[in-house]
Structure 1
Amino acid sequence: MSAKFAPLSRLQSLGYASGNFGKNIVANTLGYFLLFYITDVLAIDPKLAGIIVFVALIVDAILDPVIGFISDRMYSHKFGKYGGFIVFGAPMCALSFIAIFFIPVVSGSPIVTLLACLLLFRASYTLIDLPHNALLSRISHNSRERAHLATLRFCCSSIGSLCVSLAAFYVFESDDSYEQAKLFQQFSIFAAICSLVAMWGSWYSIKQRDIQGSQSVSNWSQQIRGIKSIFTDKQALIILFASFFSAVSIPVFTKCFSFFCKYNLNDQSLIAGGLTLIVVAQTLSTPIWSHLSRRYEKHHTLISAHLLSIIAVSFFTLTVYEFNFQFIVGCALVGVAAGGLWSVIWGMAPDVVDKLNYERNIRSEAIFIALVVVLMKIGHGLGATMLGYFLTAFGYDANVEQSADVLLVIRTMLFAFPVVGSLICIIGLQQYQLLHAKHQLIQDNLK
């Protein structure tokens, strides 16, 4: 077990959490707009677009456990356990992100070059994302402090998302696809620079804790036993289960949102305003979710977030047929629900790592976090693939007035995946039993 640390200072906490701003400003640009960018700017068939997104995420999902497996064996007196991945991965991630918006536009084979750029980005993003997530279990050993850090991280993620949603006012200023391509390019440079600076700052703010933590390196047999222990532990499986189905809830809503505003509401300008409202509500709600997850059990708080997600998505889908008061309220409710969905679960995963360490005497923090990330990405990819498939199947054609069938598909996808995903999560989380008090006993015995 690594050395016990005093509580993080406010500056250290904010410094570490700022890495989520760096990750999210690039990840959410693609999460919100990639499918729309491929279909309406690059003029690629939506079914093929969904497949491209899914393939990139699957390759990424394969790389996550590989990086987790490697990083569980890594340690450097200069970079600690995870610093090397972040310091060298951040510039690769920034450059590959820019390439997505520059190279396919001028390429004679946009499908091939887009896929290549996406694969390079997903690989380099894994180098920073997984280690930064795994650091949470390394720099703090208190369940309630982790809950606070998880929500602080999500607050920084929300600020990154806010930058993306505000950029949408600029990007969607023109209906011309050529002009939109140039505007996407300009924002990609800004976002990439922000990401690079934030990721470097994040690790350097807590590098001493990374360096001073455990230097033990598992052997291959221990790592294999660690992986087996994850798949035989009920609490670990619940977190993995919830990670996947959370990723096919609100994320599918945001992917559909651009299409819904442009075609169902016939007002492309609502994309920026609606996303900004969602992100602002999400950001403002994080202190509330932080308080709830520290005062009450984390899984109860997460269940509450999923219940609110069902209410919010249902309200929006059933009442919004034009820009009205319901549009504003619906976006705000979706944002508040998203704040709980993504902040609370990241405070639960490190607790499971400690439980497995205590019971099996193996600490496989990176590989467990990798599996959580893998399932989230598969969920994201599945949502994009299904959306693209149904749009193509019902006759979607970019930048023209859509048929009644296409409009119905967009509205149905906006509702069905988020509601079903949240319902399944609620059922699974009922079985979660790793409470605050039990985690504290585990920590006391690990000293």
Structure 2
Amino acid sequence: MGKTHSSKSASADGGSSTAVRPFGWRDKIGYMCGDFGTDFMFVFAGTWFMIFYTKVMGIPGTIVGTLFLLARVLDAVMDVTVGVVVDRSKDHPGGKFRVTMMRFTAPLVILSFLMYQTFAIDADMWVKIVYMSVTYVVWCFFYSCVNIPFGSLASTISAEADDRTSLSTMRSMGGTIGGLILGIVAPIVIYQKVDGHQVIRGGDGTHIFAIVAAVVSIAAFIGYLICYFNVTERVHPDPDQNTKEGEKRSPLHMIANAFSSRSMLGIVAAALCLLVAQLFSNQLMTYVYTDVFGSAALASISGLLGTAVMFLVVPFVKPLTRRFGRKSICSFASALGAVSMLLLFVIQTRNGIVFLLGAVFMYFALMGFNLVIWAMITDVIDDIEVTRDTREEATCFSCYSFARKIGQAVAGELAGLSLDWVGYQSGATAVQSAATKTALYNVATLVPGVFFLLTFVCLVIIYPLSRDRVLYNVEVLRVKRKGVTGEEARLLVKYEGITPTGTAPEGSTIEWPDFHELERARELSARTGVAIRDPQADTSADADQ
């Protein structure tokens, strides 16, 4: 089998072959800015797309929700396709994933702007639906073409577990900062109070969404540029690692290999449930704050509190993951999210401050999960390499993204159906009835609470990558990069006393081995310099004493 090695290829600006600079703050800031660009568009679409087309363009919520469902299912298929294509493509002096990301960035941000135009507001309903559908589906396609290589970057920037935790944290900070800006500024800019009610600024035919979308698109493009010029790809698979008998594996084989992994299935199931909880909440919370509590300011305060929670949590992420592992952190976070949202459903508060306090606990839950989730994806990629001797970053990340898109589809469809079910009245100046407000509150708290609970169940029962298992995988890959095969690396790590369930205490001996296996381990130890615990040597030493 082949092995993964650290590259001494191009510098971050795509220059000629030189010694690669060490991992550092340039990589962290660059990766953070890349996710700022990604989430700036994603959060804006996730929060305001439905509001724009229901309140401004007058399209029923069921139709918008159905578009979310169909487009996201199609988008999920696009993600996996893009992942396979990227993995099968040749490396580039500037880095395979960075270059692919930038090739599609310009059309992505242009489509992000075009989705929020009102020139067809007086056209027939079918014209508005067609325009909405075409722009959104094409935007989703280019989003896949940018997001898959961007997400795959994390496993190539550094092979070290702590570096990947830092990248995951910084990525989440970038997305959260983008969400903060939108959460605070967008409601104030888009809404205004008229006769005591919150309505869309400019009324029917308003251009406020197009203006905000232009700012979002330009800022996102700048974020991607900063990422491109500051992030370096250092870890690359050996060209022969994913080849069998001189032939490349088929795309279906690559996808099946990823989805047959229990670690992938666990993270996919958990991510799907979490995304439904998070995005359904994001889409309906603005309705709750403006229609139930009658205050767009509460929506802005909520966004500010979410960011404050992030900055409170960030300093504790690395020490907590070292102590308990990422699986335990995410399990606790999802349980906290379930309790907070279900409690809000039970108490039925009509006090905006009390509701905000409940939302703060949900933000702790989301940050506890989101700050480490990207490192968990790299854990899954490592686990598949250790157990299958194949490394296909883009395919694995696209499979995870597949789950995210399905979660987005379900959340969008549920949100649209929920708006129709509660009797929500469309229109920029529409006022909702008391019964509609009560039903809106109920679905906005109960549905996220249930899906947070399902996330907890998926992590505890399905996802296998405990702290000890992750450390074992990291050690296997560290040994593998010394020039041995995956099988040989696993053998050496076994004789180091490290297993998927933990490390044997210092001074202890491992189980008496097969003689030929031990001889092979000794030879590999001498060749690589990896120190092993030799049971025969330990036994001889005890006898001499």
2:182 is equivalent to residue 182 of structure 1: no
Q: Work out which structure has the larger RCO, using CA pairs closer than 8 Å and 6 or more positions apart in sequence.
A: 1
What is the RMSD of the two structures over their aligned residues, measured on CA atoms?
2.4
Q: Tell me how far 1:421 sits from its aligned partner.
A: 1.5
Partner of 2:542: none
Q: Tell me how far 1:400 sits from its aligned partner.
A: 3.2
Taking the aligned partners of 2:97 and 2:329, their CA distance within structure 1 comes to 30
Which stretch shifts more, 46-55 or 201-210? 201-210
Q: 2:191 aligns with which of 172, 175, 184?
A: 172
Taking the aligned partners of 1:239 and 1:250, their CA distance within structure 2 comes to 16
Partner of 1:150: 168
Partner of 2:256: 228
The verdict on how the C-alpha distance between 1:279 and 1:33 changes in structure 2, with shifts beyond 3 A counting, is farther
**Amino acid paired to 1:197:** I
Q: Tell me how far 1:381 sits from its aligned partner.
A: 1.6
2:138 is equivalent to residue 120 of structure 1: yes
Partner of 1:64: 79
The verdict on how the C-alpha distance between 1:85 and 1:106 changes in structure 2, with shifts beyond 3 A counting, is farther
Q: 1:135 aligns with which of 135, 138, 153?
A: 153
Taking the aligned partners of 1:32 and 1:21, their CA distance within structure 2 comes to 16
2:269 is equivalent to residue 245 of structure 1: no
The number of equivalent residue pairs is 446
Q: Secondary structure at the match of 1:248?
A: helix
Q: Tell me how far 1:46 sits from its aligned partner.
A: 0.8
Taking the aligned partners of 2:200 and 2:32, their CA distance within structure 1 comes to 38
Partner of 2:447: 417
Partner of 2:464: 433
Taking the aligned partners of 1:250 and 1:296, their CA distance within structure 2 comes to 24
The verdict on how the C-alpha distance between 1:157 and 1:394 changes in structure 2, with shifts beyond 3 A counting, is closer
Taking the aligned partners of 1:104 and 1:79, their CA distance within structure 2 comes to 41
The verdict on how the C-alpha distance between 1:176 and 1:419 changes in structure 2, with shifts beyond 3 A counting, is closer
| Unaligned 5+ runs, structure 2 | 8-20, 194-198, 482-545
Q: Secondary structure at the match of 2:107?
A: helix
More helix by share: 1
2:479 is equivalent to residue 445 of structure 1: yes
| Deviation string, structure 1 residues 168-211 (Cα, Å, up to 9, x no partner) | 2212236246458422211111111111111122122124537x
Q: Secondary structure at the match of 2:276?
A: coil
More strand by share: 2
How do residues 383-422 of structure 1 correspond to structure 2 at under 5 angstroms?
Answer: 383-398=411-426, 399-422=429-452
2:291 is equivalent to residue 263 of structure 1: yes
Taking the aligned partners of 2:69 and 2:25, their CA distance within structure 1 comes to 39
**Amino acid paired to 1:433:** P
How do residues 275-294 of structure 1 correspond to structure 2 at under 5 angstroms?
Answer: 275-294=303-322
Taking the aligned partners of 2:418 and 2:323, their CA distance within structure 1 comes to 43
Q: Tell me how far 1:39 sits from its aligned partner.
A: 1.0
Taking the aligned partners of 1:225 and 1:153, their CA distance within structure 2 comes to 30
Q: Tell me how far 1:371 sits from its aligned partner.
A: 1.1
Q: Percent identity?
A: 19
8 A Cα contact 1:305 1:338, kept in partner = yes
Q: Tell me how far 1:323 sits from its aligned partner.
A: 4.6
**Amino acid paired to 2:440:** I
Q: Tell me how far 1:404 sits from its aligned partner.
A: 4.5
| Unaligned 5+ runs, structure 1 | none
TM-score, normalising length: structure 2: 0.76
**Amino acid paired to 1:249:** A
8 A Cα contact 2:259 2:399, kept in partner = no
The verdict on how the C-alpha distance between 1:66 and 1:93 changes in structure 2, with shifts beyond 3 A counting, is same
2:409 is equivalent to residue 381 of structure 1: yes
| Deviation string, structure 1 residues 55-80 (Cα, Å, up to 9, x no partner) | 22222112101100100011243342
8 A Cα contact 1:18 1:198, kept in partner = yes
2:108 is equivalent to residue 80 of structure 1: no
Q: Tell me how far 1:35 sits from its aligned partner.
A: 1.5
The verdict on how the C-alpha distance between 1:128 and 1:359 changes in structure 2, with shifts beyond 3 A counting, is same
The verdict on how the C-alpha distance between 1:438 and 1:245 changes in structure 2, with shifts beyond 3 A counting, is same
The verdict on how the C-alpha distance between 1:197 and 1:403 changes in structure 2, with shifts beyond 3 A counting, is same
2:378 is equivalent to residue 350 of structure 1: yes
Q: Tell me how far 1:282 sits from its aligned partner.
A: 3.2
Q: Tell me how far 1:355 sits from its aligned partner.
A: 1.7
Q: Secondary structure at the match of 1:3?
A: strand
Q: Tell me how far 1:105 sits from its aligned partner.
A: 4.8
Partner of 2:50: 35
In our comparison, the structure showing a higher alpha carbon Rg is 2
8 A Cα contact 2:5 2:237, kept in partner = yes
Taking the aligned partners of 2:77 and 2:201, their CA distance within structure 1 comes to 34
Q: Tell me how far 1:214 sits from its aligned partner.
A: 5.1
8 A Cα contact 2:266 2:464, kept in partner = no
Partner of 2:493: none
Partner of 1:12: 27
Taking the aligned partners of 2:318 and 2:207, their CA distance within structure 1 comes to 39
How do residues 356-375 of structure 1 correspond to structure 2 at under 5 angstroms?
Answer: 356-375=384-403
The verdict on how the C-alpha distance between 1:310 and 1:151 changes in structure 2, with shifts beyond 3 A counting, is same
8 A Cα contact 2:154 2:378, kept in partner = yes
8 A Cα contact 2:33 2:227, kept in partner = yes
